[in-house]
Amino acid sequence: MSDRRSSDERRLLDTRRRARERKRASNETHTVIEIASADLRAVTLARSGDDATDQVRVMTLRWRIEAAALNTETGLSELTAALKELAEKNDLQT
């Protein structure tokens, strides 16, 4: 506990916030990405804050165009470009 805060300033047990109430304000969006041999697949769940229906978006991008394998310079650059495109289309931080 901080030196500036006295013990009587703490919230009582019944007025304490739960962990989910302490979260930063966010848009409650979750994205799962699968990297396949030649494709990227993404599923995004956008939860609605009110009683509206949650939205699910599915996206498939071909990442391998010329590369023979991922562990080549071409493969790495093609996968990076596809991940950046996916991040841009789904408003993800890079």
List the domain boundaries for the chain: 26-89
Strand 55-62, strand 29-35: pairing:
unpaired
The percentage of the chain sitting over the pLDDT mark of 90, rounded to a whole number, equals 49
The token pair at 84 is 């950046």
Give the span between the Cα atoms of 35 and 69, in whole angstroms: 13
Among positive and negative, which fits the CA dihedral 47, 48, 51, 57?
A: negative
Q: Is the pLDDT of residue 51 over 90?
A: no
What pLDDT was estimated at residue 79? Answer: 96
Give the span between the Cα atoms of 86 and 78, in whole angstroms: 12
Provide the CA 74 distance to its chain's centre, in angstroms. Answer: 26
What pLDDT was estimated at residue 28? Answer: 82
> Structure pTM?
0.64
Q: Is the pLDDT of residue 24 over 60?
A: no
What pLDDT was estimated at residue 32? Answer: 94
